[in-house]
Amino acid sequence: MDEPIRVPPTPSMRRYAEQKGYSPEILARWNRFYDDVLGLVAAQERPPDTWIRMNPLAGDPDETLDRLERKGFRLTAGPLAQAWRVDEAPLSPGASHEYLLGRYQLQDLSTQLAVPALEPAPGERVLDLAAAPGGKTIQMAQAMDNEGVIHAFEIDPDRAQGLRSNLARCGVQNVVVHVRDGAGAVELPGTADRVLLDAPCTGEGVIRRDPTRKKGYLEEYAACARQQSALLRAGVEALRPGGVLVYATCTLAPEENEFQVNRALRDLPVRLEALPEAVSGLRLGGADLTPGLVDVDGHKLDPTLEQTAHTLPHRHGCLGFYLARLRKEDD
Amino acid sequence: MRRASPAELAEVREAFEAWGPRLAARLFPRGTTLLVRPSHDGLGLFLASQRAADEAEGCPWPVEYAGLPLGHLIEGEWRPSLEAAQLVPPRAADRSVVVIEEVVGRFLYGRGIEAEGIRRASPEAETGDVVFVFAPNGDALGLGRLVPDKRGRRRLDPIVDLGWYLREGG
């Protein structure tokens, strides 16, 4: 889809959007795509929970937990291994000595789902096509026990420096950093067992953290979608037959989510797979993950897209995120 | 970036061991590979998984970063990185200083430590040496240099500390 879906805002929607600081077109679209838009907007106004992820590569997680609790942190275990919600903190969780030692990383719960969806294993060859700031790259290195290799691509030199800094702090030894467009991964010799594409996007799902994204323009959807298509095509090309690609974004825009995967199913040698039970079986905020859309404003999409999943701020209590797992066809 | 040659490996091991007899085995365990990145003044050193090393070496474009940076080898001497400091246990390093708890935060803000703040210096650490700096519980804090103060004692000048990760915006 080359043109964004335009949903004319009603006068009352326009007033409400102005009151809340949004572009009216964004709220009109959400109202068309998702239920309970008022609940969604209300959730986007609340500050997000802070989540950390223990890093076994840099220290025993039980010991890290004990050290943080002795310092006055109050933490609640999350639904994924090594994920903890910070309920009380005597200092910024990004400034403790344990953080500086790489014993944990800051990472929203929603984004922690991408790696268990991909299931990387020790010894494998993995591509991370848009890696900075590196939370998921580090999470993959943990799952791979620092063995095998992850090729981490980041086109922006400043963001690549942040990525290197995070990898080093967390004691990661199996990552090769490439300061270039992830689409260049096809030029690497050999093929990959797995590819993570957490694609650059309009970020509608992270408005709780970055309110400037309330004022998006419809043209941005198309620009992001073009970049996502190119990365997705490159990711599939770089994958070995039978290999797995996880496509993820932190936006609510179907042009960047379901439409991308729908086009991949039509044009590329991939099939959609159900997310692993460790992800699909989760209940976050008391709710199952929300299935992907299959009918968007009259556009009928591949019905298997119901196997993709959203986290939504008003349903799951975390940031908005989208996940799809694709497997490349065997030769 | 490429694998270290046998001669470079021997030189690196020797340089590591100048900081402590058991340090090479700690920093460069079996199953890992040492990558080097030549620069105008020496070699950048990176500890990498075997496969990451293979693929960094076989990459069709120059790779600037792979694995974990261990510092630089310059004229046969090792200049450790912050990450290397995190791999070194306090008792394994001949050149090390343990500071008192009260000054840990100060050092992590990139500030020097007066003589009163130094709890213990390893016997081999001489004035003028670069040393690993540790908290009393053994946590790495960074690297500093032992320098004389006005009263003939030794103070610690900061070189690099873990707080750099925050100041860098990581």
- Contact indicator for A198, A188 with CB cutoff of 8 Å: no
Name which of B51, B63, B102 to mutate to probe chain A: the one with the most chain A Cβ atoms within 10 A of its Cβ: B51
CB–CB of A188 and B163 under 8 A? no
The pLDDT assigned to A2 comes to 66
The pLDDT assigned to B41 comes to 83
CB–CB of A177 and B64 under 8 A? yes
Q: Which of A100, A125, A178 sits opposite B165 (nearest CB)?
A: A100
Q: Given CB atoms, is B110 within the 8 Å cutoff of chain A?
A: no
Q: Please compute the mean of the pLDDT values over residues A177-189 and round it to a whole number.
A: 94
Q: Given CB atoms, is B170 within the 8 Å cutoff of chain A?
A: yes
CB–CB of A148 and B165 under 8 A? no
Confidence band of A259 (pLDDT split at 50, 70, 90): very high
Q: Given CB atoms, is B109 within the 8 Å cutoff of chain A?
A: no
Q: Please compute the mean of the pLDDT values over residues B13-33 and round it to a whole number.
A: 88
Confidence band of B30 (pLDDT split at 50, 70, 90): confident
Could you identify the residue written with the tokens 């995120």?
Answer: A321
pLDDT of B72 strictly over 90: yes
Looking at residue A329, its amino acid is: E
**Which of A170, A201, A224, A250 is the catalytic position?**
A250
One-character DSSP codes across A92-132:
-TTSSHHHHTTSEEE--TGGGGHHHHH---TT-EEEESS-T
- Alpha carbon dihedral A20, A21, A25, A26, in 10-degree steps, equals -80
Confidence band of B166 (pLDDT split at 50, 70, 90): confident
- Contact indicator for A158, A182 with CB cutoff of 8 Å: no
pTM, 2 dp:
0.95
Q: How much is the ipTM here? A: 0.92
CB–CB of A149 and B55 under 8 A? yes
CB–CB of A97 and B52 under 8 A? no
Q: Given CB atoms, is A140 within the 8 Å cutoff of chain B?
A: no
CB atoms within 10 A of CB B54: 15
Looking at residue A6, its amino acid is: R
The pLDDT assigned to B116 comes to 96
Q: Please compute the mean of the pLDDT values over residues A126-152 and round it to a whole number.
A: 97
* Least confident range of A239-253, A268-282, B81-95: B81-95
Confidence band of B92 (pLDDT split at 50, 70, 90): confident
Q: Please compute the mean of the pLDDT values over residues A106-114 and round it to a whole number.
A: 96
Q: Given CB atoms, is B104 within the 8 Å cutoff of chain A?
A: yes
* Cα distance between residue B159 and residue B150, in whole Å: 20
Query: Residue A275: which residues within 8 A CB-CB, separation 6 or more?
Result: A117, A289, A307, A308, A309, A323, A325
Looking at residue A25, its amino acid is: E
A175: chain B residues, CB-CB within 8 Å: 52, 66-67
Q: Judge if the upstream peptide bond of residue A133 is cis by omega within 30 degrees of 0.
A: yes
Taking the CA of residue A75 and the nearest CA in chain B, the distance in Å comes to 22
Q: Given CB atoms, is A146 within the 8 Å cutoff of chain B?
A: yes
Q: Given CB atoms, is B48 within the 8 Å cutoff of chain A?
A: yes
User: Chains A, B: CB contacts under 8 A, how many?
Assistant: 99
Q: Please compute the mean of the pLDDT values over residues B100-104 and round it to a whole number.
A: 96
Confidence band of A120 (pLDDT split at 50, 70, 90): very high
A179: chain B residues, CB-CB within 8 Å: 64
Q: Please compute the mean of the pLDDT values over residues A252-266 and round it to a whole number.
A: 97
A162: chain B residues, CB-CB within 8 Å: 168-170
The pLDDT assigned to B57 comes to 94
- List C-alpha distances in Å: A225 to A102, A257, B44, B63: 34, 9, 39, 29
Taking the CA of residue B52 and the nearest CA in chain A, the distance in Å comes to 5
CB–CB of B169 and A97 under 8 A? no
The pLDDT assigned to A162 comes to 93
Q: Which residue from A280, A228, A230 is spatially nearest to A253, judged by alpha carbons? A: A228
**Annotated catalytic residue A250:** yes
Q: Given CB atoms, is B55 within the 8 Å cutoff of chain A?
A: yes
Name which of A174, A179, A191 to mutate to probe chain B: the one with the most chain B Cβ atoms within 10 A of its Cβ: A174
Which uninterrupted H or E stretch holds A190? none
